[in-house]
A and B are shown apart, each in its own frame.
Chain A
């Protein structure tokens, strides 16, 4: 469109004015376009879309009915579960054992305190002032399992003594996993160093250790911890079952971590060693101050993936009779007042709790991976 304007000199100039843009065709904007592009871009795609939607339509309504609409939530005994749906009463009644085992109710604050300490320490990089981080973090982390044991055990603090037989539930899964990961990481680093060492004996011992703990099914390791380890101690000595399991899990974690670190070591350029040598740093200074931080940084996603694996593996403890969350659930299922077959509810509950924890850890791992990814791909 043009407009005629009269200039100051009386001359007329035709000024070009673009016509307003047409709205984009309906087919290429908004929801319609999104649908077209992502769901119905071809006949095959459309078919797949329709199939998936139909599948969801048939599966979801009965599932939701069972999970929510027909479910029973009020009451406190098996008899209160009258509807066709899930019996969440079962979970409600057994919630405390599932989470805390049979730890005495009046002392539960000790478990909670330990959990707060655990998560506080894990989150410490976010709230500690920067100059303290390196020094305090590691010390706090390494001391944490022992502090937690002192709090939970209670004798040293003058609190009521709670024997390890009463520890249990999901908190035990968390503690065992955390304690094994915390101690397994430095031990694994030591083994990884040994594997790189020039000393043939040290190297072969470390290789044997790493391969043994990586190559053996974790279930077999647990069996060794529960049935064979007691034979290894001098007669008349007995070692707490939980401690035996902790030892086994720590060694297992160390084996896997050593392998993770090996990948990390490979990513450190030779120049780093040479630069450290040039500065006159000793072997341990080089290793701990120059190499270790970089190795940890590079292998962080793998470290977290291994930690998630170990955390999931703590459910296997059920098979050797430790009252972690899954075996607490099984125990509840064999209780003579709850013999109605609530296994679906019990297992679903454990699965959801686990999923939330593992998914958050996996997400953190993916986040770190993206953050560390400095390559120029895509």
Chain B
């Protein structure tokens, strides 16, 4: 897996400047409009675009065919994409902590609890979005996958809202905010794991032409 992951990290590196600049600009923007910590919601999702760039690039350059002829199993190829997605999401989260840390020197509204809450929401949204869009990247052609990728952000927001409303039936979310979003995070982890298994099954059966 190390070789294919390194290949994707090279692809991510070529887009890293755009991602970092976008996150910093977004951080400044949010600091005026909302809480700076809200950047933690957007950063992990925004950082994962390189995964879809790599999937498109693999197909365009025929690396997707070449790699199957190499001593790399189809399961490893999928496992690598999911690991790469998680790595990018974590890198995005950590990058977003930099402006949050800087602003915390001047603001008082950034607390450890708000950072944890927004981080949990961000990772949950990222896992739901990846859970939807990653298997679709192997089911559909690149154009359709791009559309699914963009729509998956909206879908993940919808899933989180739906889950929060559901939790609210049993537990007053306003009073148990962190617990409620920990439940959402657990559901997102389950969704991402199930999605990985589905993607492996899809890819095992797929003809690569």
Do A and B interact with each other, yes or no?
Answer: no
Please list the residues of chain A having a beta carbon within 8 angstroms of any beta carbon in chain B: none
Please list the residues of chain B having a beta carbon within 8 angstroms of any beta carbon in chain A: none
